[in-house]
Amino acid sequence: MNVTVMGAGYVGLVTAACLADVGNDVVCLDLDPRRIDLLNAGQVPIYEPGLEQVIQRNCAEGRLRFTTDTMAAIGHAQVQFIAVGTPQAEDGSADLSQVLSAADSIGRHMQGFKLVVTKSTVPVGTGDRVRGAIADALLARNLPHGPEAFAVASNPEFLKEGAAIDDFMRPDRIVIGTDPGPAGERARELLLRLYAPFNRVQERVLSMDLKAAELTKYASNAMLATRISFMNELANLAAEVGLDIEQVRKGMGSDGRIGYSFLYAGTGYGGSCFPKDVRALIRTASAHGRHLRVLEAVEAVNEAQKHILVQKINARFGTNLRGMLFGLWGLAFKPNTDDMREAPSRIVLKALLERGAQVMAHDPVAMAHARKVLEHDFAGRTAMLDRLRYADKPIECVRDADALVIVTEWAAFKSPNFETLKKVMRQPIIFDGRNLYDPAIREQGFEYHAIGR
């Protein structure tokens, strides 16, 4: 099938690349010419394992193209995916300006029937607004603007950063939300054809109403965020009463009704999805006169948890850290990505630098992107930035360091040479924000501070 994907960000690139990889002819549209030039040169502006190889392969074989030509992209395909950004607005709601602009463009340039599929994460009711934007544009052209002209569907993504290719190619479920009636059935049949290659081994398609599909995405992320905040609250209690939260986690997770996923204590969630989606769902409820009290608590717990390492460092060293050096392992909000959005490392770095410390940081992937983000965070605060340096290897971070602070659970950090670590550090002190190590390392001479252990 011919497919157009509007938006060459994280979701758009993964969607375009994976749909092309199963044989579709895909055009990916983005209005940023620098991004399109980069992609056409075979480079990918984000880090996602395997994505660059899939894009390069499909570009070389002619199944995937990138363009800034809106009219050509819309004319290319009957199926139009909207995969543009929905950043957080000042009031916490999702900013739909890019989504509605894409819908308007489709209405202004389309010829013949189009299926418009929202892939972006959008609040309940966005499908109606997309439909209205397209209908208004068609009406302005004196063209038919009813269900015979186009259909709107919701097909939310469930991609984990760091495992997005595998998630798309081997999905847990494929959610298709459509309206009742002939247009909705036509939309569902087109999407079933498109997703047939991903649905052959077992039935993964879940068909539902369009609004239900929109809410399913938010509900899924909100539930995962809830598990994280719940476990972090228990971990903080465990620290107070003197027990190991890992033992509790194993006891809970062994219950098949609960499971182990997203039950790991740490420094809170970050990234592009959970924080934004929890806030947007709270805002949607508020607009309908409802309070989602559980999610309001989830957000509050998470914001507090991002400061947990800072609190532990303050309790150990006080608030004046001048003359001290901290090695920091991990900058990205999670492993296998360079995403710095709402990363707990930014909170930790800000606190350490404001208290006068020097910091040597390392991340296997995110350092180049982190430099730009942190320069923006500390704009105008040159003295603080001068005390932040970056190391190419983890061991270089801790040479003569007063403490090691672990913020991201990269695999490369999970089994260091503790003897070497102890020899090169000024003080063998570890603040482990991801509970990577067994507290038994205290028997090797380390002072070990973890989360609920």
Q: Which pLDDT score, from 0 to 100, does residue 43 have? A: 92
Could you list the active site residues? 273
Calculate helix-pair angle for 97-109, 126-140, nearest 10 degrees: 30
Who contacts 194 (Cβ-Cβ below 8 Å, separation ≥6)? 1, 3, 19, 24, 79
Specify if 299 maps to a domain: no
Q: What residues make up the domain containing 411?
A: 306-449
- Decide if 289 is inside a domain: no
| Residue 202: predicted pLDDT | 82
Strand order in the sheet with 25-29: 64-67, 25-29, 2-6, 79-82, 114-118, 150-154, 174-178, 205-209
Note whether residue 9 is domain-resident: yes
- Structural domain includes residue 277: no
Specify whether the CB–CB gap between 127 and 115 falls below 8 A: no
330 shares a domain with 209: no
Whether residues 203 and 316 fall in one domain: no
Same domain, 214 and 310: no
Same domain? 24 vs 161: yes
- Is residue 98, in this structure, part of any structural domain at all? yes
Residue-level pLDDT, tens digit, the chain, 453 residues: 999 999 999 999 999 999 999 999 999 999 999 999 999 998 999 999 999 999 999 999 999 999 999 999 999 999 999 999 999 888 888 999 999 999 999 999 999 999 999 999 999 999 999 999 999 999 999 999 989 999 999 999 999 999 999 999 999 999 999 999 999 999 999 999 999 999 887 889 999 999 999 999 999 999 999 999 999 999 999 999 999 999 999 999 999 999 999 999 999 999 989 999 999 999 999 999 999 999 999 999 999 999 999 999 999 999 999 999 999 999 999 999 999 999 999 999 999 999 999 999 999 999 999 999 999 999 989 989 999 999 999 999 999 999 999 999 999 999 999 999 999 999 999 999 999 999 999 999 999 999 999
Pairing of strands 403-406, 429-432: parallel
User: What's the pLDDT score for residue 425?
Assistant: 98
Q: Which of 167, 186, 218 is the last residue of a domain?
A: 218
Within-domain flag for 40:
yes
CA–centroid distance for 195 within its chain: 23
pLDDT recorded at residue 245: 96
Asked if residue 206 is part of any domain, the answer here is yes
Same domain? 89 vs 208? yes
Domain boundary among 170, 197, 218: 218
Hey, CA dihedral for 168, 285, 211, 230, is it positive or negative? positive
Which of 20, 8, 335, 39 is closest to 168 using CA atoms?
20
Q: Does the residue 295 lie in any domain?
A: no
Residues 204 and 321 in one domain: no
Query: Do 207 and 349 fall into the same domain?
Result: no
Shared-domain flag, residues 26 and 171: yes
Sheet containing strand 358-362, strands side by side: 388-390, 358-362, 325-329, 403-406, 429-432, 447-449
The residues, ordered by sequence, that sit 6+ positions from 84 with a Cβ below 8 Å of its Cβ are: 6, 7, 9, 12, 98, 99, 101, 102, 120
pLDDT score recorded for residue 90: 87
CATH number for the domain including 55?
A: 3.40.50.720
CA angle 285, 176, 198 (to 5 degrees): 135
Residue with tokens 């503790």: 418
Number of domains in the chain: 2
How confident is the model at residue 242, as a pLDDT? 94
For residues 314 and 301, what is the distance between their CA atoms, to the nearest angstrom?
20
Same domain, yes or no, for 187 and 38?
A: yes
Which one of 203, 218, 233 terminates a domain? 218
How many CB atoms sit inside 10 A of residue 375's CB? Answer: 12
